[in-house]
Structure 1
Amino acid sequence: MNKKKGKQSILFANPPVITSVANIVGPMEGEGFLQQYFDTIMQDNLHGLASWEQCESYMMEYAIKKSVEKENSTIDNIDCIFAGDLLNQLMSTHFAMKNLQRPFLGLYGACSTMVEGMLLSAIMLDGGFASKVVAAASSHHDAAERQYRFPNEMGVQRPPSAQWTVTGSGATVVSISGTGPRITGATIGKIVDFGIKDPNAMGPAMAPAAVDTLWQHFQDTGRTPNYYDMIFTGDLGSVGRDLVIQLLQEKGLDIATNYQDCGCMIYREEQDAHAGASGCASSAIVFTGLIYQNLMSGKWEKILFLGTGSLHSTTSYQQKESIPCIAHAVAVEVL
């Protein structure tokens, strides 16, 4: 029987299996630290298409098809797809889903979308409502800049706290049975808003939400940070990562020795990404690349994976509202 643990967490009775993953990235991501972990590296940010948004749709469709293909399955065997991106009304995702023609539930969790999809996939499978689903997320630097900030052609100078939106997409096939690491638990986050209004400071804005979910996960499950080989957050960047460590230390939890943020793992310093990577694809490409391969190789057996999302919009920013944030977590273990 499933067990709800504490206030916000679940431990699954029949943990579903992540049976396959796939990803695709842009050229800047391909020049970073993780180039060996990507299925495809595009030569440019358009990939022969008419717009950045069309390119993002292509990336998501590619990642989903590739993940299913690597599992030696077909798209017709997928019961449902959970997916989302950063754009208004999930623009890129909807055009990708039009081509895939599978049952679909669109998600907007900003940069927490990948983990939100994995969490909901596990709930659907463990509940007996499906046997095979896909969780996917995408982002595109140029499309996101056009929507949220300034026209790319202006070349606006970014402050040191700013992060670089990842161009890429990652997809996971989650199955009721098979070979691979399992999603054994989850913690559903809640909105945390510390009043930050600067959209160039998303790391500091999201860090309190990450801390809130991490703290609740450990309270609900009775686990300590050293239960996990590694703990990952999605895209806090260097500033947000350091804040998470500091804020948890103030609560009596030390995660400094086995914690890293995906936003700090993608770009090299000379690539001038400032505080690191951001975007839905930040956590998606790191999980479907380095993290999954290290779980499959046995280097890690237990990881806690948090998606962190900054839930502002162009409208809320223009109305001078603060930035509401959220973080969701899944425990992934090799059993």
Structure 2
Amino acid sequence: MEKQIGKQSVRFENPPYIVSSAAIVGQKEGEGPYAKFFDEILGDDKAGCESWEEAEGKIQEMAANKALSKAGMENKDIRYIIAGDLLGQLMASSFGLIKLEIPMFGVYGACSTMGESISIASMLVDGGFADNILAITSSHFASAEKQFRFPLGYGNQRKRAATWTVTGSGAVVIASKKMAEKVNMSDKNKVHITGITTGKIVDLGVKDSMNMGACMAPAAGNVIIRNLIDNGRKPEWYDKIITGDLGLVGKDILLDIMRSKGYDIADRYMDCGIEIYSREQNIQAGGSGCGCSATMLAGYILKMLESGKWHRVLFVPTGALLSPVSFNEGDSVPGIAHAVVLECGETEV
């Protein structure tokens, strides 16, 4: 079987399983419409820690342990962790996961990190280099504001195009078929990762870091179209096409981009950043952050697939590749997105 499909896609010969997932979220996320789908809602966004950064690491540790527990696994059963976050030098992942003592690949794709983590994990499992891998990421409103924008005490006004960084961590355990069978997973009741499409960096010159939807939408459109072309599919092949955190502004831009290329996905499109909060929560254009798509995947999307309400989903986390240095030097904000094909039921190989 040819695994390399088209210019940017991979189709797995031995599709890995997602055998467990965990979503830990903060108080604001727990007040949103998807609260019942999350494993735990924090009563304190500092998670009992001294700093916001330490709290984010703690949330990652909690999500990792919860995912392992739900899979009936221990630390020794996991070959690798693939993790990342938004903080400098991936400090939430590094400090948060140190106690697990599992070999780790640290990755950075901004808010697309969950798609990148799952993509790499799936290739390693399909290639026979690991049987069980933990893919995990996180974000925290306060730590992100502190690093990328203004101190919370400054009390700055937020633009209507701005998004609210999700406080939360999402984790999934990705396993080979033989390992999935050991935890009583079958083709009919567990989600398979049947393919991926790795995104390109796309930069159309947008410099407004408070409008990340506009920065990321072109990259999302690029990778979705590439996935369809590489695999010879139409949008209707998927029950849902789900982006990470484009928000209300980025959504409209993406739909316009898709229509301009001859694809109308409006009837099956969803954005995690729009969904995770209600409009009454004063979050401007929606949610964002690595934890946005990760918690929605681990908490909601996988449950919809496992229940049989959806059968095929294109999961497309989106990221804005800015740093405090690039922003302060006046650079534009490039975007990237990674697409993961999720199926539940018999796999198409």
TM-score bracket, shorter-length normalisation = over 0.9
Whole-angstrom distance in 2 between the partners of 1:22 and 1:329: 20
- The answer to whether the aligner puts 1:242 opposite 2:252 as a matched pair is yes
The RMSD of aligned alpha carbons is: 0.7
Task: Give 1:152's aligned amino acid.
Answer: L
Structure 2 partner of 1:266? 276
C-alpha contact (below 8 Å) 1:23/1:63 kept by paired residues: yes
Q: Residue by residue, what CA displacement relative to the aligned partner does 1:183-237 show, whole Å, maximum 9, x if unpaired?
A: 0000001100000011001001100000000111111000110000101000000
How high is the TM-score relative to the length of structure 2?
A: 0.95
1:2 deviation in Å? Answer: 4.3
Whole-angstrom distance in 1 between the partners of 2:197 and 2:47: 37
Structure 2 partner of 1:190? 200
Whole-angstrom distance in 2 between the partners of 1:299 and 1:267: 22
Structure 2 partner of 1:70? 70
How high is the TM-score relative to the length of structure 1?
A: 0.99
State which of 278, 281, 293 in structure 1 corresponds to 2:291.
281
Could you say what secondary structure the match of 2:296 adopts? helix
Could you say what secondary structure the match of 2:97 adopts? helix
1:44 deviation in Å? Answer: 2.1
Unpaired stretches in structure 2, ≥5 consecutive residues: none
Structure 2 partner of 1:219? 229
State which of 305, 322, 326 in structure 1 corresponds to 2:336.
326
C-alpha contact (below 8 Å) 1:121/1:133 kept by paired residues: yes
1:97 deviation in Å? Answer: 2.2
Structure 2 partner of 1:49? 49
State which of 262, 265, 277 in structure 2 corresponds to 1:252.
262
Structure 1 partner of 2:241? 231
Whole-angstrom distance in 2 between the partners of 1:12 and 1:47: 39
Q: Percent identity, aligned pairs only?
A: 47
Whole-angstrom distance in 2 between the partners of 1:257 and 1:315: 39
The count of corresponding residues between Structure 1 and Structure 2 is 335
C-alpha contact (below 8 Å) 1:97/1:104 kept by paired residues: no
Task: Give 1:93's aligned amino acid.
Answer: S
C-alpha contact (below 8 Å) 2:47/2:59 kept by paired residues: no
C-alpha contact (below 8 Å) 2:273/2:293 kept by paired residues: yes
Whole-angstrom distance in 2 between the partners of 1:154 and 1:119: 39
Whole-angstrom distance in 2 between the partners of 1:98 and 1:48: 18
Runs of 4+ in 1 over 3 A off after TM superposition: none
Whole-angstrom distance in 2 between the partners of 1:39 and 1:237: 24
Whole-angstrom distance in 2 between the partners of 1:153 and 1:47: 20
Could you say what secondary structure the match of 2:333 adopts? coil
Whole-angstrom distance in 1 between the partners of 2:337 and 2:269: 16
Whole-angstrom distance in 2 between the partners of 1:313 and 1:28: 25
Whole-angstrom distance in 2 between the partners of 1:62 and 1:44: 14
Whole-angstrom distance in 1 between the partners of 2:254 and 2:206: 16
Task: Give 1:233's aligned amino acid.
Answer: T
